[in-house]
Structure 1
Amino acid sequence: MQLTGKITPDSLMSLEAYSKWRKAHKAEVMAHRQLRSVHLGEHINLQFESETTIRYQIQEMLRVEKIFEEEGIAQEIEAYAPLVPDGSNWKATMMLAYTDINERQRELARLIGVEDRLFVEVEGHDRVYAIADEDMDRENDEKTSAVHFVRFELTPEMCASVKAGAGVKLGCDHTHYPAHTQVAPETLASLAGDLR
């Protein structure tokens, strides 16, 4: 899987080529995904996306759905490519996970707006709150969704600080889900690679 900086139909592998590549490289991609996964408290997980994770997601969708026509490929790229960070931000898939269905229903009702209360705080800088669900609204008056797509937009100074080794805290200040965690150094090193 070659990273090109922009996902285009020409930069994707054919289904046959991807099938061969996948057998040899799936473990590497899973390790990359795991490295970029940050747990916030007991029930929130943020999967920070990259060109690698999104390219893999698109190739997997094409493989599973057996999509090989131009229109279908274009639709998958259109759906997922906006989740690739573009040099001044981090983009993540946020998942709320509860094993008990009753607890899940209750908490999704209590956590309306949680996606807007997520933040990153680069050492020495102000908090940056998530910009959530730019593609569509994922909550209603009764509950929030278990999955949200969030973007953290960083200033050039924040990007420089991260690249210079500043620590980063991930947090949430929602009334019903106060939590924060320091982003692990190895995860932060991967995330720093997303910034120009």
Structure 2
Amino acid sequence: MPRETHEITRADIMPMAEYAKVRLERRKAMTELKKNRRVHIGPDATAYFESFDTMWHQVHEMLYIEQGGDAQIEDELSAYNPLIPKGRELTCTLMFEIDEPDRRARFLAGLGGVEETVSLSVGGQKIMAVPEDDIDRTTADGKASSIQFLHFSFTDAQADLMKQPGCEVVLAIDHPAYGHMAKLPDAVRAALAADLD
């Protein structure tokens, strides 16, 4: 996997002909890496915790699939670099995954502001998520986006707690229309704690 850092640069981008040669191997490695970075919260929400490696992979996949060449690189870096944790934070893509279109539309219509109700409790200390401010993900009429990008900022003490084996970490959504929580398995806690440098 690529070097650990907080930002992908043009120097990190493989030529697409080279990426094509290792794409299958990289995708398998990413599937394995993501196993301990995914948390289901209730029946319809999943948090995918991001890292340099997950975003590096996403940028390369977008470049490979869309074939936009050199002109596409800056757009992808601008889109995905903000989701790389910056040292004392975790970042996640929260997705509400409902296959049935009518149910999904009704569900999201009543979920406005959900991005303001997500928290991570680390050893009993609550850290509220801060939504990515690229665009407003709740419309004026109260409909939520099915995809939310969230940041959890840690104090040094909270980061130290997160790194303790056995520390209880709970990811929660406390919205009137969707109130669920999930205790993170210790393997997930350990994987995410490694992002806190």
Q: Deviations over 1:170-192 (max 9, x none)?
A: 01111111111111111111101
Percentage of matched positions with identical amino acids = 31
Deviation at 1:24, TM superposition (A): 2.2
Kept after mapping to 2: 8 A contact 1:4/1:11: no
The residue type equivalent to 1:15 in the other structure is: M
Give the equivalent residue in structure 2 for 1:82: 82
The answer to whether the 8 A contact 2:113-2:142 is kept is no
Aligned residue for 1:29?
A: 30
Amino acid paired to 1:131: V
What secondary structure sits across from 1:99 in the alignment? coil
Separation in 2 of the partners of 1:52 and 1:191? 13
Tell me the distance in 2 between the aligned counterparts of 1:4 and 1:72: 23
Report the equivalent of 1:186: 187
1:17-42 per-residue CA deviation (whole Å, 9 max, x = no partner) reads: 11112122311111212321100000
Q: Which amino acid aligns with 1:112?
A: G
For 1:37, give the aligned amino acid: R
Give 1:2's aligned residue.
2
Range that drifts further, 3-12 or 49-58: 3-12
Q: Using the TM superposition, give the Cα deviation of residue 168 of structure 1 relative to its aligned residue in structure 2, in angstroms.
A: 0.6
Q: Read off the aligned partner of 1:55 and give its amino acid letter.
A: W
2:47 matches 1:43: no
Contact 2:111 2:142 survives alignment (8 Å) = no
Per-residue Cα deviation, 1:144-178 (whole angstroms, up to 9, x for no partner): 11111011111111001111222210011111111
Partner of 1:139: 138
Read off the aligned partner of 2:52 and give its amino acid letter. E
Unaligned runs of 5+ in 2: none
Aligned counterparts of 1:153 and 1:29: Cα–Cα separation in 2: 25
Instruction: Report the Cα distance in structure 1 between the residues aligned to 2:114 and 2:33, rounded to whole angstroms.
Output: 26
Give the drift of 1:61.
0.7
SS at match of 2:107: helix
What is the one-letter code of the residue matched to 1:129? M
The worse-fitting range, judged by mean Cα deviation, of 158-167 and 1-10 is 1-10
The count of corresponding residues between Structure 1 and Structure 2 is 194
- 3-state SS in 2 of match to 1:102: helix
Structure 1: gaps spanning 5 or more residues: none
Residue 105 of structure 1 and its aligned partner are, at CA, apart by 1.3
TM-score (norm 2): 0.93
CA distance in 1, matches of 2:84, 2:175: 26
Structural mapping, 1:5-154, within 5 Å: 5=5, 6-69=7-70, 71-125=71-125, 127-140=126-139, 141-154=141-154
CA positional deviation for 1:103: 1.5
RMSD: 1.3
- Measured after TM superposition, the shift of residue 4 of structure 1 is 4.1
- Structure 1 length as normaliser, TM-score? 0.94
- Aligned residue for 1:151, secondary structure, equals strand
